[in-house]
Structure 1
Amino acid sequence: MASFSMSGLGGSGLNIEDMIAQLSVAENKKLNPYLQKQSNYSGQTSSWGKISSALDAVKSNLTKLQDEGFNGVSIGTNKAFNATASKGAIPNSYSVEVEQLAKAHKVGTAAQANNDTQLGDGAGLRKVVISTGEGKPIEVELKDDETSLVQIAKKINAKNGDVTAAVMSAEGGKYQLVLTSKKTGEDGEISISVEGDDKLGKVLNYKQGSSEPISENSAREITPAKNAIISIDGTKMERSTNTITDAIEGITLELREVSEKDPDDATKFKPETLSVTADTSKVKSLIEEFVKVYNNYLNTAATASAYKEPEKGSGGQLAQMNPSNGALFGDGTLRRLTSEMKSAISGSYGDADDLLKSLGSIGISVKFEEAKPGEERSGTLGLLSIDSKKLDEALKNNPNDVEALFLGKGAGQSLKGALEDVFKNYLGDNDSIPKTEGTISTAIKGLKEQGSRVEKQISRMQERIQDSLDRSRKEFQRLDLAMTEMNNMSQQLQSALLGIMG
Structure 2
Amino acid sequence: MAEGTLSLNVGLATGIDFGSLVGQLISVERRPLGILQQRKNGFQAQKAAYDQLQTKMNDLKSAAQKIDGQNDDLSAASSKEELLTFKAKSDSDFIKASVKEGAKPATHNVKVNQLAQGTRLAHLGVDDKEAAISASDANLVINIGSSEETLEIKGGETTLEGLAAQINDLDASISASIVNDGSASNGFRLVISSGSTGVENAVSINDAETTLAGFATSDFEEVQQAKDAQITIDGIDISRGTNSVSDAIDGVTLELNDISEEEAIITVSRDNDAFKNKVSDFVSKINDVLSFVNANSGSSDNKASGVLAGDRVLISAQSRIRNLLTEAQGGVSLSEIGLTTGEDGLISFDSAKFLEAVDENPTLVRGVFAGGESEQGVSGRLVSIVKEFVDPTGFIATRQDGLQSSADSLQDQIDVAEKRLVKREDTLRKQFVNLEQVVSNLQSNQNFLLQQIGAV
Q: 1:118-154, CA deviations, whole angstroms, 9 ceiling, x for partnerless residues? A: 9999xxxxxxx9998799x9xxxxxxxx999599969
Equivalent residue number for residue 431 of structure 2? 479
- Rounded to whole Å, the distance in 1 between the matches of 2:267 and 2:30 is 76
Equivalent residue number for residue 216 of structure 1? 214
Q: 1:37-65, CA deviations, whole angstroms, 9 ceiling, x for partnerless residues? A: 33323322321221221242233255699
Secondary structure of the residue aligned to 1:246 is strand
The size of the alignment, in residue pairs, is: 415
- Rounded to whole Å, the distance in 2 between the matches of 1:468 and 1:147 is 87
Q: Is the 8 A contact 1:11 1:483 kept in 2?
A: no
- Are the structure 2 counterparts of residues 311 and 20 from structure 1 closer, same or farther at C-alpha, using a change threshold of 3 Å? farther
Q: Is the 8 A contact 1:14 1:480 kept in 2?
A: no
Q: 2:321 aligns with which of 324, 338, 349?
A: 338
- Are the structure 2 counterparts of residues 108 and 300 from structure 1 closer, same or farther at C-alpha, using a change threshold of 3 Å? farther
Q: Is the 8 A contact 1:61 1:286 kept in 2?
A: no
Aligned: 1:492 with 2:444: yes
Cα deviation, residue 274, structure 1? 1.6
- TM-score w.r.t. length of structure 2: 0.65
AA at the equivalent of 1:346: A
Equivalent residue number for residue 44 of structure 2? 38
- Rounded to whole Å, the distance in 2 between the matches of 1:439 and 1:231 is 56
- Are the structure 2 counterparts of residues 184 and 468 from structure 1 closer, same or farther at C-alpha, using a change threshold of 3 Å? farther
- Rounded to whole Å, the distance in 1 between the matches of 2:166 and 2:429 is 74
Equivalent residue number for residue 93 of structure 1? 107
Identity %: 17
Q: 1:283-329, CA deviations, whole angstroms, 9 ceiling, x for partnerless residues? A: 784487278437526634742773446999xxxxxxxx944545854
Q: Is the 8 A contact 1:105 1:189 kept in 2?
A: yes
Equivalent residue number for residue 244 of structure 2? 243
Deviates more, 1:294-303 or 1:249-258: 294-303
- Are the structure 2 counterparts of residues 367 and 18 from structure 1 closer, same or farther at C-alpha, using a change threshold of 3 Å? same
- Rounded to whole Å, the distance in 1 between the matches of 2:41 and 2:235 is 76
Q: Is the 8 A contact 1:295 1:384 kept in 2?
A: no
Aligned: 1:303 with 2:294: yes
Q: Is the 8 A contact 1:168 1:178 kept in 2?
A: yes
Equivalent residue number for residue 273 of structure 2? 282
Secondary structure of the residue aligned to 2:297 is coil
Cα deviation, residue 426, structure 1? 3.6
Within a 5 Å distance, the mapping from 1:46-195 to structure 2 comes to 46-61=52-67, 70-72=84-86, 75-86=89-100, 88-103=102-117, 113=128, 170-171=180-181, 183-185=196-198
Unaligned runs of 5+ in 1: 1-5, 122-128, 138-145, 192-205, 261-270, 313-320, 350-356, 370-377, 428-437
Equivalent residue number for residue 254 of structure 1? 255
- Are the structure 2 counterparts of residues 95 and 7 from structure 1 closer, same or farther at C-alpha, using a change threshold of 3 Å? closer
Q: 1:138-188, CA deviations, whole angstroms, 9 ceiling, x for partnerless residues? A: xxxxxxxx999599969978x9x7769786553459878878666554676
Aligned: 1:468 with 2:420: yes
Cα deviation, residue 81, structure 1? 0.8
Q: Is the 8 A contact 2:198 2:227 kept in 1?
A: yes
- Rounded to whole Å, the distance in 2 between the matches of 1:481 and 1:165 is 93
- Are the structure 2 counterparts of residues 498 and 293 from structure 1 closer, same or farther at C-alpha, using a change threshold of 3 Å? same
Equivalent residue number for residue 3 of structure 2? none
Q: Is the 8 A contact 2:276 2:355 kept in 1?
A: no
- Rounded to whole Å, the distance in 1 between the matches of 2:447 and 2:143 is 110
Secondary structure of the residue aligned to 1:216 is coil
Unaligned runs of 5+ in 2: 1-10, 70-76, 136-140, 150-157
- TM-score w.r.t. length of structure 1: 0.60
- Rounded to whole Å, the distance in 1 between the matches of 2:22 and 2:175 is 74
Equivalent residue number for residue 125 of structure 1? none
Q: Is the 8 A contact 2:321 2:382 kept in 1?
A: no
Q: Is the 8 A contact 2:89 2:267 kept in 1?
A: yes
- Rounded to whole Å, the distance in 2 between the matches of 1:213 and 1:80 is 45
Q: Is the 8 A contact 1:100 1:227 kept in 2?
A: yes
- Are the structure 2 counterparts of residues 131 and 347 from structure 1 closer, same or farther at C-alpha, using a change threshold of 3 Å? farther
- Are the structure 2 counterparts of residues 130 and 340 from structure 1 closer, same or farther at C-alpha, using a change threshold of 3 Å? farther
Equivalent residue number for residue 391 of structure 2? 441
AA at the equivalent of 2:390: I
AA at the equivalent of 1:472: R
- Rounded to whole Å, the distance in 2 between the matches of 1:419 and 1:494 is 93
- Are the structure 2 counterparts of residues 291 and 12 from structure 1 closer, same or farther at C-alpha, using a change threshold of 3 Å? closer
Cα deviation, residue 83, structure 1? 1.8
Within a 5 Å distance, the mapping from 1:446-457 to structure 2 comes to 446-450=398-402, 453-454=405-406, 456-457=408-409
- Rounded to whole Å, the distance in 2 between the matches of 1:327 and 1:183 is 67
- Rounded to whole Å, the distance in 2 between the matches of 1:293 and 1:71 is 22
Secondary structure of the residue aligned to 2:391 is helix
- Rounded to whole Å, the distance in 2 between the matches of 1:69 and 1:15 is 74
Q: CA RMSD in A?
A: 5.6
Cα deviation, residue 231, structure 1? 2.5
Secondary structure of the residue aligned to 1:347 is coil
Cα deviation, residue 97, structure 1? 2.3
Q: 1:347 aligns with which of 329, 344, 355?
A: 329
- Rounded to whole Å, the distance in 1 between the matches of 2:176 and 2:26 is 72
- Are the structure 2 counterparts of residues 277 and 458 from structure 1 closer, same or farther at C-alpha, using a change threshold of 3 Å? same
Aligned: 1:419 with 2:369: no
Q: Is the 8 A contact 1:9 1:491 kept in 2?
A: no
Equivalent residue number for residue 318 of structure 1? none
AA at the equivalent of 1:14: G
Equivalent residue number for residue 230 of structure 1? 231
- Are the structure 2 counterparts of residues 284 and 76 from structure 1 closer, same or farther at C-alpha, using a change threshold of 3 Å? same
